[in-house]
Amino acid sequence: MSTVVDPVLRVRDLTIRTRSVELLRGVDLTIGRGERVGLIGESGSGKSITSLAIMGLLPDNVQATGSVRLGERELLGTPERELARVRGRDVAMVFQEPMTALNPTMRIGDQVAEAMLIHHTQPSRAAAADRAIELLEAVRLPDPKALVRAYPHQLSGGQRQRVVLAIALANDPALLICDEPTTALDVTVQQLVLDLLVRGVEERDAAMLFITHDLAVVANVCEQVAVMYGGRIVEAGPVNEVFRRPRHRYTQGLLAASDLAVDPHSGQLRAIAGSVPAAGRFPEGCVFRSRCWKATDQCRAEPPWTGAPHGPGYACWHPAQSEVIT
Amino acid sequence: MSSTVDLQGSAQPPQGEPVIEVEDVRRVYGRPRSGLFGKAASVTALDGVSLTVHRGEKLGIVGESGCGKSTLLRIVAGLHRPTSGRVRVEGREVTGSDRDLAWLRRRLQVVFQDPMSSLDPRMRVGDIIAEPLVGLRVEGDHRARVAELLEAVGLDAEAAERYPHMFSGGQRQRISIARALAPRPQVLLADEPVSALDVSVRAQVLNVVERLVADLDLTLVFVSHDLSVVRHVCERVVVMTRGRIVEEGPTEQVYTHPRHDYTKALVAAVPSVRRALTEERGVG
pLDDT tens, B64-84?
Answer: 888 999 999 999 999 999 999
How far, in Å, CA of A148 to CA of A51, rounded? 30
On whether any CB of chain B is under 8 Å from the CB of A321, the answer is no
In B223-239, which positions are buried (b, 16+ CB within 10 angstroms) versus exposed (e)? Answer: bbbbbbbbbbbbbbbbb
How far, in Å, CA of A159 to CA of B70, rounded? 22
On whether any CB of chain A is under 8 Å from the CB of B166, the answer is no
On whether any CB of chain A is under 8 Å from the CB of B198, the answer is yes
Partner residues linked to A178 by β-bridges: A94, A210
CA A58, chain centre distance (Å): 15
* A vs B: CB pairs below 8 A: 135
CB B13 within 8 A of CB A271: no
Confidence at A233, pLDDT banded by 50, 70, 90: very high
How far, in Å, CA of A209 to CA of A94, rounded? 10
Residue A129 has pLDDT above 70, yes or no: yes
Closest CA of chain A from B97, distance in Å: 34
How far, in Å, CA of A107 to CA of B49, rounded? 39
State pLDDT tens for residues B88-115.
999 999 988 878 899 999 999 999 887 7
Q: Where do the domains of chain A lie?
A: 99-172, 244-314
Running DSSP on this structure, what letter comes out for residue B35? -
Which pLDDT does position B31 carry in this prediction? 67
ipTM of the complex: 0.77
CB B189 within 8 A of CB B108: yes
- Ranges of H-type helices in B29-184: 69-76, 102-107, 125-135, 142-152, 169-181
How far, in Å, CA of A124 to CA of B81, rounded? 55
Q: Which residues of A touch B272 (CB under 8 A)?
A: 216, 219, 259
On whether any CB of chain B is under 8 Å from the CB of A323, the answer is no
Collapsing DSSP to helix, strand or coil, A290 comes out as coil
User: DSSP labels for A113-164?
Assistant: HHHHHHTT-SSSHHHHHHHHHHHHHHTT-S-HHHHTT--GGGS-HHHHHHHH
Cβ of B282 within 8 Å of Cβ of A220? The answer is yes
Running DSSP on this structure, what letter comes out for residue A87? B
CB-side neighbour CA atoms (13 Å) of A209: 30
Which of A11-15, A165-169, B94-98 is predicted least confidently? B94-98
Number of neighbours of residue B147 by Cβ within 10 angstroms: 18
CB A1 within 8 A of CB A30: yes
Cβ of B284 within 8 Å of Cβ of A215? The answer is no
CATH 3.40.50.300 fits B18-278, yes or no: yes
Which residue of A lies nearest to B262 if distances are taken between CA atoms? A188
Q: Which has more pLDDT, A261 or B208?
A: B208
State pLDDT tens for residues B195-238.
888 888 889 999 999 999 999 999 999 999 888 889 989 999 99
Confidence at A282, pLDDT banded by 50, 70, 90: very high
Q: What is the mean pLDDT of residues A124-129?
A: 96
